[in-house]
Amino acid sequence: MTATPIRVAIDSSGLHATAQVLDGPQPSVDLRGADNDALMTAVFEHANAQARATGTTVTLEIDAGPETAPVRVEVDPDQSVRTVATGLSEHREPATTGMGTAATRPASRPSSVVRVPGDAPPPDPEPPPHEAPRRRFDSEDSDRRPATRQPRPTSEHYSPHHDTIGTAPQASAASLRGVVPTGPARRGMRGRLNAALGLKLTASVDEQGVRAAESTISGPVPDRAVVSVINVKGGVGKTPLSLALASQMATHRGPGTVAAVDLGESNNSFADRIVTPGHPNYGTVGLLDLHENTGGAITSAMLSRYLTRQPSGEDVLIGRDDVGFDLGFDDADALATLLSHFRDLLVVDTGNGENAGRWQWAVATAQVVLIPVPLRADVVAVARRMIGRIAARRPHGLAGVMVIITDGPGDTPDIEADQIEQLTRGDGIEVVLRMPYEPVFASGQPITSASLALPTRDALTRLGAHVITALTGPRTT
């Protein structure tokens, strides 16, 4: 008997769905749940009720929006549920993938079978399931929190026609290490189906890319690994990027492995953007004094008074609000040498003074330099001039230098293609990445990984993977 086709459209909140029988005059049905799992349970309870009422298999096509490919499952009157590889042939063409058109598979060859909770007796044992051809999901649902504007993707090796990092094979962190983690999906539509129904749908390409990036971040780094975030233009997001990157790196490397260091000018916003405040007497200047007074014989317990642990596991070393004191080149170098004995990775926030010794140290000695550049004509122009001077200060030129295009209020995307082309080809920057718009960055609130939107965390994870790869690359030694 022909299966009953039902299309289920889930709205952006993930808490409401509309179910419509495609063959027949039945009105649409509104389904709701307190969370994603509850909604998916309501969807399958509705499908099972339809299957029992009609005595036929119900074919569900679940659509969570334009950025997520539909998921198709079949629900039998006995409450068996199985995923299928193809859609409703009488209503839609077979889905295409990166390898061409997906092959059709009879409904009698499910890719997985589970049970929906209920009173019906279990069905006869099924034969071993056959795995359906995997389709590439271009992108999974990201964060369900409301946002004032849509996040923009992150990109590597910028191209006006391809600006997403992680969705293309050459841009994914998996290609950096040659490992593509697999396993059941934990996020997006596939993750919700797995959680609600006990399925084992494979993670999407995008989710696999994030997992690969996480694996890369957790890998080894060289001694005295330093990442500097610089720009001579103020208000471009150096501090938010520094703290957010340190937070995300510590999330995957573990507590006590990453330190964010304030080498900015006095009265900057670094101390205002951390969750757990540091004591004003235990900052960069105090640590330098301790280093001098002890002859460098500093223990981990002594250092713990100066490093303040944040919720994500990173430590921060705040600066000093003293306009009469300025850290020089040697001061910054001594701090980095000391901290590197106790932490794997230093993420250094800098100020705007290009002539300051600490700024010059951050440019000349860091293996990786990140330059946040909002899409504003004046900022791009300043960055281009600064990049030329950076190349002359670094022993390996622009190797390890990455431009991070940030998306914020007042940006002008229309200038992007031409300006970025100048950065990548004219100025010799090899890697250009994009950070999505992040409300916490723009609001001035304290920053920790848990406070950031999922697209931002994913972008930071992929950025972190590129940082680790650059740190361990042959040109950054």
CATH 3.40.50.300 domain residues, the chain: 219-476
> What share of the chain in percent tops pLDDT 90?
41
pLDDT for residue 185: 83
Lowest mean pLDDT of 106-110, 170-174, 330-334, name the range.
106-110
For the segment 393-416, the average pLDDT, to the nearest whole number, is: 82
Beta strands in 50-124 (DSSP E): 58-63, 71-75, 80-83, 96-97, 100-101, 113-115
SS3 call for 180: coil
Buried b / exposed e across 350-363, counting CB within 10 Å, b at 16+?
A: bbbebebbbbbbbb
For the segment 170-197, the average pLDDT, to the nearest whole number, is: 62
pLDDT for residue 154: 36
Write the CATH number of the domain with boundaries 219-476: 3.40.50.300
Q: What is the average pLDDT score of the chain?
A: 77
Confidence of residue 256 (pLDDT cuts 50, 70, 90): very high
pLDDT for residue 77: 86
Lowest mean pLDDT of 142-146, 200-204, 364-368, 388-392, name the range.
142-146
Pair of tokens at residue 409: 């209020």
Of the two residues 55 and 350, the one the predictor is more confident about is 350
Pair of tokens at residue 258: 């990453």
Q: Tell me how far apart the alpha carbons of residues 185 and 193 are, in angstroms, rounded to a whole number.
A: 9
pLDDT at 460 over 80: yes
Amino acid (one-letter) located at 58: V
In sequence order, the 6+-apart residues with CB closer than 8 A to the CB of 53 are none
Confidence of residue 421 (pLDDT cuts 50, 70, 90): low
Give the DSSP H or E segment for 196: helix 188-197
- CB of 315 within 8 A of CB of 246? no
The pTM for the full model equals 0.68
For the segment 222-241, the average pLDDT, to the nearest whole number, is: 95
Q: Tell me how far apart the alpha carbons of residues 177 and 447 are, in angstroms, rounded to a whole number.
A: 29
How many angstroms separate the Cα of 469 from the Cα of each of 75, 215, 254, 390, 400?
46, 11, 18, 21, 10
Confidence of residue 322 (pLDDT cuts 50, 70, 90): low
Lowest mean pLDDT of 56-65, 116-125, 287-296, 431-440, name the range.
116-125
| Opening angle at CA 344, ends 318 and 268, nearest 5 | 20
pLDDT at 105 over 90: no
Q: Could you read off the pLDDT of 29-52 as tens digits, one per residue?
A: 999 988 777 888 888 888 888 888
Find, among 28, 22, 30, the residue nearest to 5 by Cα.
22
In sequence order, the 6+-apart residues with CB closer than 8 A to the CB of 66 are none
Query: Mean pLDDT highest for which of 27-41, 99-113, 145-159?
Result: 27-41
Q: Could you read off the pLDDT of 12-27 as tens digits, one per residue?
A: 777 898 999 887 778 8
